[in-house]
Amino acid sequence: MVFEKYEKERKKDMRFKIILASVKPVLTNKIVDAAKDAGATGATIIPARGTGIHEAKTFFGLSLEAQTDIIMFLIAENMVDNILKSIGETGRFDKPGTGIAFVVPVDKVIGLESQMDKLTKESSE
């Protein structure tokens, strides 16, 4: 029932993408703030572990994995480039081992009713 209601009310031209960024936890808040300044309406932060090509370390034969945060931003399609640029600059992703971000297409979204006014306004600008 919620899905059918949303389908009737949603803007037909509104499209979304997800930006996923894997970053060092000390950079998480700065990156979220920069993305919000660039137009993101929020973020989901998921603690994770991982290693990159420059970070593989061992201790008595055990592999040590670096702590990382995965930051997920659901973004209106027209805002992706600006927000992705802001994330990259703030996280200094041009330096090895600082982070990575990529964009994933989204087919359908529900649950954004509280943000639709802001997203619709920014989408039309």
Which amino acid makes up residue 66?
A
16-108: which CATH topology? Alpha-Beta Plaits (3.30.70)
Q: Where are the domains of the chain?
A: 16-108
Residue 64 φ then ψ, to 5°: -100, 125
pLDDT digits (tens, 9 = 90+) for 66-125: 789 999 999 999 999 999 999 999 999 998 878 899 999 999 888 776 666 555 555 555
How far is CA 25 from each of CA 12, 48, 74, 99, rounded to the nearest angstrom?
37, 10, 20, 10
The CA distance from 16 to 63, in Å, is 38
pLDDT surpasses 60 at 36: yes
Angle at 30 between CA 105 and CA 19, to 5 degrees: 5
pTM reported for the whole predicted model: 0.75
